[in-house]
């Protein structure tokens, strides 16, 4: 890329959200979550074998508009009706939740975290669809960007560590967590700097400083989420090193990664290729082979054919992968 050139997430090209206003150079968007009817699957039932790479997703998903199913972590009264909170961002009478998010529409590559990416929307759908698996869990969000996945995870979990690198994106995530606090009142959300290139060491400054105590807490997380973090091979390598460290310590845990396979045509290949994805896949294989003392790591692709809780263009390039640490006979 040329210096100063901007990258643009296509999330806002589709009718995902409504741009309300702009603050400085940022936009504010309301992401509407439909609490809808669905048969919640066990995550394991959804696994797609890793070598079934070309699962036939048509790219077309029907938006289900019924509203019978409510994530079990959300409050309901004795008749099973959702307890509606009518102020701020809370649920409205159509059983929707609204997340208000400040973000950029276009940035230079080093600030991509200030935009919202489609992998985050798929990961949010996944979290909401499997809400019982995340209820009361301790979650770590890697490369959280604007904090959308953190906020959705915090609607379900007990604790969420929202991490990224750089003051500006961390400030944005923190602001977004604060303005959506009424949706996440049962969760303790902590925003911290965690640079994969620095590993699990004390880092960052001010309010976002990652302390020894934070590192101890992070190692206790049972669930790790990361959306749209596969786009640069060196960063992917650093991310895998961090994931290896995290999976090697604390309780057995699962990493869920939402990603968009970005296709490019290259003259050298005379074909459409996806080098960042290929590098990611090689990293998965290496991680599984490596394991660590007393633990095995397994990766698998999950079935992305989920109901849509958020409104976006779910293409067949959007995928969810999981990596699990297992203690044999543990």
Ligand X SMILES: C[S@@+](CC[C@H](N)C(=O)[O-])C[C@H]1O[C@@H](n2cnc3c(N)ncnc32)[C@H](O)[C@@H]1O
Shortest distance in whole angstroms from residue 97 CB to ligand X: 18
Q: Which residues bind ligand X (CB under 6 A)?
A: 112-113, 116-117, 119-120, 143-146, 148-149, 164-165, 169, 195-197, 227-229, 235, 238
Output the CA–CA distances (angstroms, integers) from residue 231 to 76, 158, 187, 200, in the order listed.
Answer: 41, 30, 30, 22
CB nearer to ligand X: pick between 71 and 258: 258
Shortest distance in whole angstroms from residue 82 CB to ligand X: 27
Q: Is the dihedral of CA 231, 23, 32, 221 positive or negative?
A: positive
Shortest distance in whole angstroms from residue 172 CB to ligand X: 9
Coil, strand or helix at 58: coil
CB nearer to ligand X: pick between 195 and 282: 195
CB nearer to ligand X: pick between 116 and 322: 116
Burial of 23 (0-12, 13-18, 19+ CB in 10 A): exposed
Shortest distance in whole angstroms from residue 194 CB to ligand X: 6
* Helix or strand holding residue 246 (H, E): helix 233-248
CB nearer to ligand X: pick between 145 and 307: 145
CB atoms within 10 A of CB 128: 27
CB nearer to ligand X: pick between 91 and 134: 134
Shortest distance in whole angstroms from residue 193 CB to ligand X: 8
Report the distance separating Cα 324 and Cα 295, nearest Å: 10
Shortest distance in whole angstroms from residue 165 CB to ligand X: 4
Q: Is the dihedral of CA 102, 106, 107, 112 positive or negative?
A: positive
CB nearer to ligand X: pick between 47 and 235: 235
C-beta separation of 312 from 121 below 8 A: yes
Q: Pairing state of beta strands 159-164 and 254-260?
A: unpaired
Shortest distance in whole angstroms from residue 144 CB to ligand X: 6
Q: How far is CA 46 from the centre of its chain?
A: 18
By C-alpha distance, which of 168, 169, 134 is closest to 152? 134
By C-alpha distance, which of 110, 192, 111, 112 is closest to 150? 192
Strands (E), the chain: 6-7, 17-23, 26-34, 47-48, 96-103, 107-108, 138-142, 159-164, 188-193, 223-227, 254-260, 264-266, 271-273, 296-302, 318-326
CB nearer to ligand X: pick between 91 and 117: 117
CB nearer to ligand X: pick between 125 and 164: 164
Shortest distance in whole angstroms from residue 315 CB to ligand X: 15
Closest residue to ligand X, judged by C-beta, is 113
């Amino acid at each position: 890329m040329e210096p100063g050139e901007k990258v643009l997430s296509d999330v806002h090209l589709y009718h995902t959200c409504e741009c309300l206003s702009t603050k400085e150079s940022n936009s504010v968007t309301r992401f509407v979550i439909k609490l809808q009817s669905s048969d919640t699957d066990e995550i394991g039932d959804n696994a797609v074998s890793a070598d079934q790479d070309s699962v036939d997703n048509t790219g077309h998903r029907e938006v289900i508009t019924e509203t019978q199913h409510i994530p079990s972590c959300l409050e309901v009264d004795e008749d099973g009706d959702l307890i509606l909170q009518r102020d701020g961002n809370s649920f409205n009478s159509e059983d929707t939740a609204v997340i208000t998010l400040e973000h950029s529409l276009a940035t230079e590559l080093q600030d991509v975290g200030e935009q919202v990416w489609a992998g985050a929307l798929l990961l949010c759908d996944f979290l909401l669809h499997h809400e019982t698996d995340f209820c009361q869990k301790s979650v770590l969000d890697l490369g959280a960007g604007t904090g959308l996945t953190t906020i959705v995870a915090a609607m379900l979990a007990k604790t969420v560590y929202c991490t990224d690198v750089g003051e500006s994106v961390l400030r944005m995530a923190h602001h977004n967590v604060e303005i959506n606090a009424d949706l996440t009142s049962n969760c303790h959300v902590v925003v911290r700097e965690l640079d994969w290139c620095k590993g699990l060491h004390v880092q960052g400054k001010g309010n976002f400083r990652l302390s020894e105590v934070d590192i101890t807490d992070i190692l206790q997380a049972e669930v790790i989420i990361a959306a749209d973090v596969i786009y640069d091979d060196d960063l992917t390598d650093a991310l895998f090193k961090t994931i290896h460290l995290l999976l090697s310590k604390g309780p057995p845990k699962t990493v869920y990664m939402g990603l968009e396979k970005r296709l490019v045509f290259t003259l050298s290949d005379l074909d459409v290729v996806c080098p960042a994805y290929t590098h990611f896949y090689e990293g998965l294989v290496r991680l599984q082979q490596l394991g660590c003392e007393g633990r095995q790591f397994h990766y698998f692709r999950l079935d992305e054919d989920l109901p849509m809780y958020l409104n976006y263009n779910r293409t067949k390039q959007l995928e969810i992968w999981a990596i699990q640490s297992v203690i044999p006979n543990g």
